Amino acid sequence: MKPFLKWPGGKRWLVSRYSHLFPKKFGTYIEPFLGSASVFFYLAPAKAILGDSNPDLIATYSGLRDDPLAVEEVLLTHEMNHCEAYPSAKVLQLFAGF
Ligand SMILES: C[S@@+](CC[C@H](N)C(=O)[O-])C[C@H]1O[C@@H](n2cnc3c(N)ncnc32)[C@H](O)[C@@H]1O
């Protein structure tokens, strides 16, 4: 899986260049600085604890977990209005009420 957000400091580059260094087996994946979640989506762990100090970001991921179709609808509307393949940090404000 790939991230759906463009995020400053995102680790897409790390996943694309150095994924061979990631452990193949691990227990619970703990990510306190989730951001665009590049590593999380790449590893797709069975069990994870995710956090971030940005409440809009957490609201977005909570919405994705609890009501993915509603999140998809917001993202599609955003894409139609802004012609962006990836929403940026600004669009997270759309999810503030999730
Ligand atoms: C560069 S992004 C993380 C990238 C991500 N781990 C990945 O796999 O692409 C950094 C994130 O850390 C969060 N952050 C910064 N300081 C924090 C803190 N003290 N506690 C929790 N999250 C924090 C920011 O809101 C931001 O979303």
Instruction: Give domain limits for the chain.
Output: 12-95
Amino acid (1-letter code) at residue 16: S
C-alpha–C-alpha distance, residues 35 and 21, integer Å: 21
Residue nearest to atom 18 of ligand 1 (CA): 53
Residue 16: its pLDDT value, please? 95
The Å distance, Cα 33 to ligand 1 centre, comes to 3
pLDDT at residue 5 in the model = 83
Q: How far apart are CA 16 and CA 45, in angstroms?
A: 18
β-sheet bridge partners, residue 48: 29
CA of residue 32 to ligand 1 center, whole Å: 7
**Using an 8 Å Cβ cutoff, are 52 and 34 in contact?**
yes
The answer to whether 59 and 94 have CB atoms below 8 angstroms apart is no
| Model confidence pLDDT, tens digit, residues 42-97 | 999 999 999 999 998 898 899 889 998 888 888 778 777 766 655 555 556 555 55
Q: How confident is the model at residue 21 (pLDDT cuts 50, 70, 90)?
A: very high
| Nearest Cα to Cα of residue 78 among 3, 25, 4 | 4
Q: What pLDDT was estimated at residue 34?
A: 96
* pLDDT for position 14: 96
Q: Is the pTM of this model over 0.75?
A: yes
Ligand 1 site, residue 56, Cβ cutoff 6 A: no
